[in-house]
Chains A and B, each alone.
Chain A
Amino acid sequence: MITGTPKPIEEIIEMLEPYDNIIVAGCFGCVTVCRVGGDKEVQILSSTVRLAREAAGKKIKIKEVCLERQCDPEYVELMRPYVEDYQAVLSIACGAGIQFMAEKFSVTPLLPGINTGFLGVTERQGEWAERCQGCGDCVLHLTGGICPVTRCAKSIFHGPCGGSVHGTCEVSKNVTCGWQLIIDRLKSLDQMENYAKLKPYKGWDKSRDGGPRRIIREDMI
């Protein structure tokens, strides 16, 4: 899923300074699952903003909504009938959802209520970790199902570097060395021959370095 963290409330209050009638919009997709942008968070954030503003003597009206997904047009369109009745939308969806709404509603300012994080997994309740960088050219079949691009701090293809100590990365004792994981997995899969191969230069043109990406499925259009 796409993960995120709430923006500090001070930052949000500052963003909302010019407005006194807004929409707080959540999303029932990834951000609900990682507990940063679902309907419950819409309620908490809205109450928090109202309390902060009223205590400061500057009341604000908030319409609370939560869309099925902010990244699909049919759901975003549901806001069209009323969106212009409000001065701004504070969205707590991921960056993709926020931008999609901004594209659709040209005269309404869209404000981010969360900092979008990464494509990750729930390691346990309340703890998420990155697993994929969407580089566009998956090599997991060669690396024991563990991604060198994401799990190695240097994204190297022939690891580990000299900074790997007792299975941890030089970046932090709290970061597991991705290449240690790859080697452990290759060994348990009896695929160490994959380690011994020289890997070609990675084509980063398939990642974001090639510019904003687009997928077109002719069969579905």
Chain B
Amino acid sequence: MKSGSNLEKVLAAGHFAVTAECGPPRGANPNKVLEKAEHVKGNVDACNVTDNQTSVVRMSSLAGCILVKESGTEPLLQMVVRDRNRIAIQSDLLGASALGVRNLLCLSGDHQKFGDDPQAKNVFDIDSIQLIYLAKMMRDEGIFPSGDKLEGAPKFYIGCAVNPFADPYEIRVARLKLKVDAGADFVQTQCIYNMDIFKQYMEDAKKQGLHERVKILAGVTPLKSAGMAKFMNRMVAGIDIPEDVIKRIADEPKEKQAAKGIEMCIEQIQEVKEMEGIAGAHVMAIEWEEKLNEIIGGAGLLPRPAVEQ
């Protein structure tokens, strides 16, 4: 075991893994995290805690991870390179590992212009792929990037995100390969709605044998309404929701759209579960964590397997 995390063990045992995410609150109230963690508990193998997503300032990801851990769910630390130089990154990795966080997701981070402080200075000292090999070097070789020996290596199951729908398509798999080469153990994808493109992406990834080198968790997000679908499609960079998917939810009367969204999400999890090379699902029920049990249970993925800790 590289990290000994629950997520790593579930995947190593060949189970179809399930992860979800909790966005920390815009304030110092720990109860907001604990409430979300209650909805997550028992439904997932690990729970991502986001790191100032869309550059909107929130409680720190590490603090959120500790709260999630205390409430009984294994946390997965998201870390963006937008706000930290390599000194802060190494230090935070050591701290996170010391506090028992065993999963790490390496991200670039949205540009600061989207958030509270568009006038902030960004860092981008290293990029997300360099963060992968930095974490791997610290874990596997027990040394800092400077070459100095660590007094205790941080133990992380190292992940990355991929967006099969971003442009240009022809390098999306090449970039996944870079991440695998850098040392990623698992991948969580951007929310998938366009299954045609995603299937093509997986075919291309499989041709290079990437599905055998990295655990791929397919990202899904339940749509709450036709309005949300249209908004995401138009406004969120890298989200591709085909017309027929929007139509399916838009054809429902307003009060039934949420239920339809959940039904479609469940179908989608079941569809990806059957695909070769997909090792799990990452269910991003954004500000809708109370539906996780219904979605994951509906997909036949409960109870979550207990692996020897």
- In their complex, do chains A and B touch, with some C-beta pair under 8 Å? yes
Query: How far in angstroms is the closest Cβ of chain B from A181?
Result: 11
B124 touches A155 (CB 8 A): yes
B182 touches A165 (CB 8 A): no
- Bound-state Cα–Cα, A179 to B155, Å: 33
Count of A-B residue pairs with CB < 8 Å: 90
Q: Is A171 an interface residue (CB 8 A)?
A: yes
Q: Which residue of A lies closest to B133 (CB)?
A: A198
B237 touches A198 (CB 8 A): no
Q: A157-B130, A165-B166, A165-B237 are in contact. Are A204 and B110 (CB under 8 A)?
A: no
Query: How far in angstroms is the closest Cβ of chain A from B205?
Result: 15
Q: Is B82 an interface residue (CB 8 A)?
A: yes
- Bound-state Cα–Cα, A92 to B70, Å: 60
Q: A155-B124, A201-B86 are in contact. Are A163 and B110 (CB under 8 A)?
A: yes
Q: Is A195 an interface residue (CB 8 A)?
A: yes
Q: Which of B117-153 contact A (CB under 8 A)?
A: 122, 124-130, 133-134, 145
Q: Is the interface of A mostly helix, strand, loop or mixed?
A: loop
Interface size class of B (residues with CB under 8 A): 35 or more
Stretch at the interface among B22-30, B41-49, B169-177: B169-177
B171 touches A195 (CB 8 A): yes
Residues of A within 8 A of B126 (CB): 201-202
Q: Is B13 an interface residue (CB 8 A)?
A: no
Query: How far in angstroms is the closest Cβ of chain A from B165?
Result: 9
- Bound-state Cα–Cα, A180 to B90, Å: 30
Query: How far in angstroms is the closest Cβ of chain A from B51?
Result: 15
B174 touches A163 (CB 8 A): no
Residues of B within 8 A of A170 (CB): 110-111, 114, 237
Q: Is B113 an interface residue (CB 8 A)?
A: yes
Q: Which residue of A lies closest to B177 (CB)?
A: A196
Residues of A within 8 A of B274 (CB): none
Interface of A with B (CB < 8 Å)?
153-167, 170-171, 177, 180, 183, 192, 195-196, 198-202, 204
A-B contact pairs, 10 of them (CB 8 A): A153-B111, A156-B124, A162-B108, A165-B237, A165-B238, A167-B167, A170-B114, A180-B168, A202-B125, A202-B126
